[in-house]
Amino acid sequence: MAEDAPPIRFGILGCAEVARKVSRAITLSPNTTLYAVGSRSLDKATKFAASNGFPPHAKVYGSYEGVIEDPEVDAVYVPLPTSLHVQWAVLAAQKKKHLLLEKPVALNVHDLHKILEACESNGLQYMDATMWMHHPRTTQMFHFLSDPQQFGHLQSVHATSTYTASPYFLENDIRVKHGGKCPLMVLTGSVPGVKPDLDALGALGDTGWYCVRAILWASKYELPKSATALHKPTYNDAGVILACAASLSWEDDKVATFYCSFLTNVSMDIIVMGTKGSLRVHDYIIPNQEKEAKFSTSSNSNWVELSIGWAPNPSDNVFYNDLPQEA
């Protein structure tokens, strides 16, 4: 986009917690601006706009339709529950809005294909909101993994993504409720006394999403031949995954493993091992600090005489960035 092009005007569907972080990012980014927000509750949308840096002229709607029908909106950010993505993303695309979709982007690949097709047939940009992919550190790490002398061929990846969800979350959050069985109830939310679920992928969708992305990224998006759940996942009473491990493998003996969980202290590790080098990062999803991020690499290491130390030792690579990764 040219330097002097007008900024892209974003409309936001819903007032999810994560939308606060993305609103800040849209404001920080030099080529985007907050333009509209819609919620089923006009009051909620008004409060959201007031407390998240929306400019005075921003539009506030008491519906999602209001946002996607506003002709001034260039792009729509969709932080709605996953099961609602396909419906609203396709509608927004039909109204010629570019799409930024919160992860997980869809409950299944069929829904994702529908969304992508809607974007393609309307000539629109599609992006998922996996923020770490946009950190300059990620580019540098990918550069290391692509270096035949420093890294060689990929052999193994391990990724983690976990956090300790609060008791309240484990009882109430849509990410631990089951609802795939009753789409009508899901869409209308009309059954009294029942909180229908909207995001039944659980920890696999919320945190495993990052692990799978990290693994595919490290394999340069070469799809694995097989994916296998390890042992049995931990489920809640509604049958939603709270923690699980899995392995992916490729034709050429590359193998990856990951662990994702709502029941484990925060972790976000990637260990990538190649024939000649290896890379470690322990805060790939959210850097420990916003403006400084590091990763560690090791290349062509061996043991010194008598195996009492390494040479060369692994080294840290530190990055300083003005804009956070989500901007």
Assess 219 for contact with a second copy (CB under 8 A). no
Assess 321 for contact with a second copy (CB under 8 A). no
Contacts of 305 (CB under 8 A, 6+ apart): none
Query: Which residues in 60-89 contact a second copy (CB under 8 A)?
Result: none
- One of 103, 158, 177, 213 touching a second copy (CB under 8 A): 158
Nearest to 316 by CA among 325, 148, 286, 288: 288
By three-state DSSP, how is residue 76 classified? strand
**Shortest reach from residue 190's CB to a second copy, in Å:** 32
Question: Which range binds a second copy by CB under 8 A, 167-175, 187-195, 198-206, 247-255?
Answer: 247-255
Residues in the chain, overall count: 327
DSSP one-letter string for 216-265: HHHTTTPPPSEEEEEEEEEE-TTS-EEEEEEEEE-TTS-EEEEEEESEEE
Complex with a second copy: residue 88 or 209, whichever CB lies closer: 209
- One of 37, 198, 214, 273 touching a second copy (CB under 8 A): 273
The span from the first CA to the last CA of the chain, in angstroms, equals 16
Residue whose structure tokens are 């590359």: 254
- One of 130, 138, 160, 207 touching a second copy (CB under 8 A): 160
Task: Please tell me the distance from the alpha carbon of residue 263 to that of residue 203, in angstroms, as a whole number.
Answer: 9
Assess 27 for contact with a second copy (CB under 8 A). no
Query: Which residues in 133-152 contact a second copy (CB under 8 A)?
Result: 152
- One of 64, 128, 269, 284 touching a second copy (CB under 8 A): 269
Q: Which residue type sits at 172?
A: N
**Shortest reach from residue 96's CB to a second copy, in Å:** 31
**Shortest reach from residue 290's CB to a second copy, in Å:** 5
Residue whose structure tokens are 């992006």: 127
The count of other CB atoms within 10 Å of the CB of residue 127 is 15
By three-state DSSP, how is residue 40 classified? coil
Assess 286 for contact with a second copy (CB under 8 A). yes
The site for a second copy (CB under 8 A) is made up of 18, 20-21, 24, 152, 155-156, 158, 160, 162-164, 226, 228, 230-234, 243, 245, 247, 249, 253, 255, 257, 259, 261, 263-267, 269, 271, 273-278, 280, 282-283, 286-290, 296, 298-303, 306-310, 313-314, 324
